[in-house]
Chains A and B, each alone.
Chain A
Amino acid sequence: QKEVEQNSGPLSVPEGAIASLNCTYSDRGSQSFFWYRQYSGKSPELIMSIYSNGDKEDGRFTAQLNKASQYVSLLIRDSQPSDSATYLCAVGRISYNKLIFGAGTRLAVHP
C-alpha cells in the first residue's frame, strides 16, 4: 500500500463544473495536508493547506479533511480550462518536517 494514494486520472470535467480530487493516506499520525498544482513542465505550486478536520475554503478551492477516514479532498468550483494541471496531495507530520507526496491526479477541464 502506498503511503499517499491518488487516482492518476485523467479526470475530465466540463468548464463550469465542480472537480473533485481525492487522496488517502496511511499514516494515522499525519498532521498536515497540502494540495499542490503542477502545470506541465513546471514546478509544484502550493494552493491549499489544511490541518484540522472539516472544510477550508479559499476562493474557488475547498479542501476537506477527514482524519478518521484518512481522507483529504480538493474541490474546485466553476472549473476553468486554466485549472487543467496535475494536482499533488502531500501529507506530513510537523515534527518530522518532511512530506510524503502522492503521484498526482491529472485534471482536464474542457470548454
Chain B
Amino acid sequence: DGGITQSPKYLFRKEGQNVTLSCEQNLNHDAMYWYRQDPGQGLRLIYYSQIVNDFQKGDIAEGYSVSREKKESFPLTVTSAQKNPTAFYLCARSAPRDGRGNEQFFGPGTRLTVL
C-alpha cells in the first residue's frame, strides 16, 4: 500500500450529503495529496499539504475541504457543493526532499458513487 491507507474502499452518498474520505500514512512524511480520477482521464489535484496545519488548493478544490491536524492524517470532505462527485479518489504521500525527490506514492483509493 506504499505506506498509505485509505478508507473506505467504496462509498455511496446520497445527493446533498457531505462525506469524509480517510487517508493515513505511517512513514512520517510531510507532504500529502488528494487527487480525483474520472474514467479515461488523468489525475487532477484537489488539495495538498506540506506541513501540519497548512494546506493549499489544487486545480479543482471547489466543493471539497481538507484538514491536516496530525502529520499522519489528511482527510478529504466531499461537500454537497461538489456538483459531480462520482469519481475515484486517490491520496498520495511524497518522499522526503533530498534534492531529487518529489516522487509520490498512492494509497489504494476510494471509489465514491453518488446515488
Which residues of A are interface residues toward B (Cβ below 8 A)?
A: 4, 8, 32, 34, 42-46, 49, 51, 88, 90, 92, 94, 96-99, 101-104
The answer on a CB contact under 8 Å between B90 and A44 is yes
Q: What are 26 inter-chain pairs, A to B, with CB distance below 8 A?
A: A8-B40, A32-B102, A34-B103, A34-B104, A42-B109, A43-B90, A43-B106, A43-B107, A43-B109, A44-B43, A44-B106, A46-B104, A46-B105, A49-B103, A88-B42, A88-B43, A94-B101, A97-B31, A97-B97, A98-B33, A98-B45, A98-B48, A98-B58, A99-B104, A101-B42, A103-B41
Bound together, the chains give a CA A88 to CA B40 distance in angstroms of: 11
Tell me the minimal C-beta distance from B27 to chain A in angstroms: 14
For A45, the chain B residues whose CB sits under 8 A away are: 106
**How many of B's residues come within 8 Å of A, CB to CB?**
25
B: which residues have CB within 8 A of A? 31, 33, 35, 40-43, 45, 48, 50, 58, 90, 94, 97, 99-109
Number of A-B contacts (CB under 8 A): 55
Taken together as a complex, chains A and B put the C-alpha atoms of A42 and B106 apart, in Å, by 10
Closest approach, in angstroms, between the C-beta of A20 and any C-beta of chain B?
20
Which B residues lie within 8 Å of A92 (CB)?
A: 102
Q: Nearest chain-B residue to A2 (Cβ)? A: B42
Among residues of A, the one whose C-beta sits closest to the C-beta of B43 is A101
